[in-house]
Structure 1
Amino acid sequence: MSTSTPDGSDVVVTPEEAQELEHPPLLVLDPVTAWLDVRGLGEGPLSWERIGDGQSNVTFLLRRGERRLVLRRGPRPPLPPSTHDMVREARIQQVLGAHDVRVPRILAVEEGTDVLGVPFYVMEHLDAEVVTDTQPGALADDPAARAAASAGVVDTLVSLHTVDVSAEDVAALGRPEGYLERQVRRFTDLWPQVSTRELPGFDPLATWLDEHRPTRSAHAVVHGDFRLGNLMLDPTHPGRVVAILDWEMATLGDPLADLGYLTATWSDRHGAWPATVMDHSPVTVQEGWWDRDELAQRYAAATGADISHLPWYRALALWKAAVFCEAIRTRWLRGERPGDQRFAPMLEEGVPELLRQAQEHSRQL
């Protein structure tokens, strides 16, 4: 529920109040209001609401009179180098929006740190639904609507992967050659930086991923976190995806990385794979939602992609997720995630389980 009352921890009114806190707040109302005023984004008092299920970056719904806006920023500093780059994330959406990718319109970007201590951007608010642990509208009681939504998820991914990566502005978003090799190397190098414990499953998986890396792959825009919880669905026509959210990890690379991530983190009604901390939309176990194989088969039919190595991409997805989740756990142990009483405590066992399931996928090849 939206409120104009600061909570004194995550949200305060003035910079002076922010300086008195042990940990910097996420939203400071007075300077944000002034920043919005300069850019003509709404009028009057500012009310706010924390939204989204993301465990990394932070999203607020802002209201000023009849105007609704969405502010997105990184977590509290200190931040690892080259992570939580909100300026780049906004630019990606601006570029892809010009190529008919369904993204919210970016209204303003703050590259400096004077307002909130980190860069941030503001985008339009869309009248659509994000599905996680509840099913809005027709999805609540109509299996046919759930099937339509499943098809819409895959078709949206297919559409993203057909964007022309040779276009000058799109080509500037990344270097697709060597994408898989760089992914394995980067996350192998990240692990000792983010983990404070020994988990024996990590290094063998890193070696296996490197030694069994697919050598032939297509080039496409890769979202990097493509899942149901990062899509906004039309509440009256659930098969229509209104927008794709959370572009922090987007680049150019192998499109099957997105399909591997989508299917590895999709809650499957057949129960072939135990749930993990990455199953952010558990409703898909209910009747009507497609299972993982149905999603993959529709993608393959639409694109002609060879998905025989999909278990490798699923293993990569969960192995990478283990790195991200371990980083969250470490930040929590250091006191950098005050108020997190649900997600981070789950990661003591949640990260080892991600590694175990990644290993299970590796055995499917």
Structure 2
Amino acid sequence: MALADQTNPVREGEELPADVIDRYLKAHMQGLVGTPRISQFPGGASNLTYLLQYDNRELVLRRPPFGHKAKSAHDMGREFLILNRLNDGFPYCPKAYVHCTDEAVIGAEFYVMERVKGIILRADFPPELAFDEQQTRMLCESFIDKFVELHNVDYQACGLAELGKPEGYVQRQISGWTDRYERAMTPDAPAWEAVKTWLHDKMPADHAKPGIVHNDYRFDNVILDPDNPQQIIGVLDWEMTTIGDPLMDLGNSLAYWIEADDPQPMQLMRRQPSHRPGMHTRQGFVDYYAQRAGIEIPCIDFYYAYGLFRLAGIVQQIYYRYFHGQTRDPRFAQFIQMNKLLEVKATQVIVQSQL
């Protein structure tokens, strides 16, 4: 288990009261022994994730970020519901146990779920994971296979139809992310005017087969089997999940997919090992997805440009909190540069699509 995802000491300003959490959990769960030792998972820039280590059990606690702006963007109850209902149709979700709606307990809503132990990849493979090109390709295709499997889940049978309304999904995403971006503007942020106009003008019709949209599917949100690291045993971070167009979700994931031939400024944004020999290019990702889903994707440009704009919206919302002193996490200081790079890339995608 040496490769299993490790935690760090809790970041300054993001501490939790162990004694308060202990009293609450023991009142709502049976069999917990001792007082929890609390550490923090290093990934994530939105909701915060902590490891609670009891003498006889490990649990994971999720709560919104400190100083967050929009409660609707960090809905603990919604994420708790998704984990409980989706597990029957997509058994890679952790099981959720307790949802606390009383913000007086720790200052925010939170929920507690099982810990799925395994490997979580971040920017690079750990040295111990010496995959050759063929093994890397198998991992990449396993990652895409799970994505297709999620999009094919019968969300109505899982009791998740209430998550979203497929009709008008594309239009709501473009207008919604435009609004969220503009409300999170800081004086140093790019305006994205040309891209916003193009996305509005090029919106496709609603997808004929809507599905569950994860909205943040990338390698650091999946858990690999430590005994067989080419296999995925868990999928995390369901806070933005809804019902909508699977191709929009594909565009979201492509926005994170930095490939080996991308220029150096883009490489600086890479947060997953998508550049490794054996990983598909973005076009290869799309082609393999289409093959496994049994569909045709004649042009991905709109969805990819949308994914880049949406990612910029997320980045800017986080940077807004940093800019206004609502978080001291030093990782967020450079998010404004990431935003600017995303605008450049989205503009390039649009220009190429018009040639």
How many Å separate the matches in 2 of 1:346 and 1:125? 31
5+ residue gaps, structure 2, are 1-5
How many Å separate the matches in 2 of 1:83 and 1:2? 25
How many Å separate the matches in 2 of 1:52 and 1:220? 30
Deviates more, 1:250-259 or 1:285-294: 285-294
Residues 90 and 364 (structure 1), Cα distance of their counterparts in 2 relative to 1, 3 Å cut:
farther
Residue 156 (1) aligns with residue 151 (2):
no
How many Å separate the matches in 1 of 2:348 and 2:264? 9
Counterpart residue number, 2:24: 35
Counterpart residue number, 1:356: 344
Displacement of 1:6 in angstroms is 7.5
1:239-281 Cα deviation digits (max 9, x unpaired): 3211111011110000011211222211212336852675311
Amino acid at match of 2:21: V
Query: Within 5 Å, which residues of 2 pair with 1:154-233?
Result: 154-167=144-157, 169-197=159-187, 199-217=189-207, 218-233=209-224
Residues 8 and 357 (structure 1), Cα distance of their counterparts in 2 relative to 1, 3 Å cut:
closer
Counterpart residue number, 2:327: 337
Amino acid at match of 2:352: Q
Tell me the SS of whatever aligns to 2:59: strand
Residues 6 and 297 (structure 1), Cα distance of their counterparts in 2 relative to 1, 3 Å cut:
closer
How many Å separate the matches in 2 of 1:354 and 1:163? 31
How many Å separate the matches in 1 of 2:12 and 2:262? 43
Residues 161 and 195 (structure 1), Cα distance of their counterparts in 2 relative to 1, 3 Å cut:
same
Query: Within 5 Å, which residues of 2 pair with 1:29-178?
Result: 29-38=18-27, 39-40=29-30, 42-136=32-126, 139-167=129-157, 169-178=159-168
Q: Is the 8 A contact 1:137 1:236 kept in 2?
A: no
How many Å separate the matches in 2 of 1:134 and 1:210? 36
Q: Is the 8 A contact 1:152 1:239 kept in 2?
A: yes
How many Å separate the matches in 1 of 2:12 and 2:271? 29
Counterpart residue number, 2:3: none
Amino acid at match of 1:233: L
Q: Is the 8 A contact 1:56 1:328 kept in 2?
A: yes
Residue 310 (1) aligns with residue 314 (2):
no
How many Å separate the matches in 2 of 1:182 and 1:276? 31
5+ residue gaps, structure 1, are 12-26
1:99-144 Cα deviation digits (max 9, x unpaired): 1341001111112202111111111111211111242587424332
How many Å separate the matches in 1 of 2:346 and 2:102? 39
Q: Is the 8 A contact 1:110 1:121 kept in 2?
A: yes
State the structure with bigger RCO (CA 8 A, min sep 6), 1 or 2: 2
Q: Is the 8 A contact 2:248 2:303 kept in 1?
A: yes
TM-score for the superposition, normalised by structure 1: 0.88
Amino acid at match of 1:83: A
- Give RMSD over aligned pairs: 2.2
Deviates more, 1:321-330 or 1:152-161: 321-330
How many Å separate the matches in 1 of 2:322 and 2:300? 33
Residues 162 and 122 (structure 1), Cα distance of their counterparts in 2 relative to 1, 3 Å cut:
same
Residue 241 (1) aligns with residue 232 (2):
yes
Tell me the SS of whatever aligns to 1:349: helix
TM-score for the superposition, normalised by structure 2: 0.90
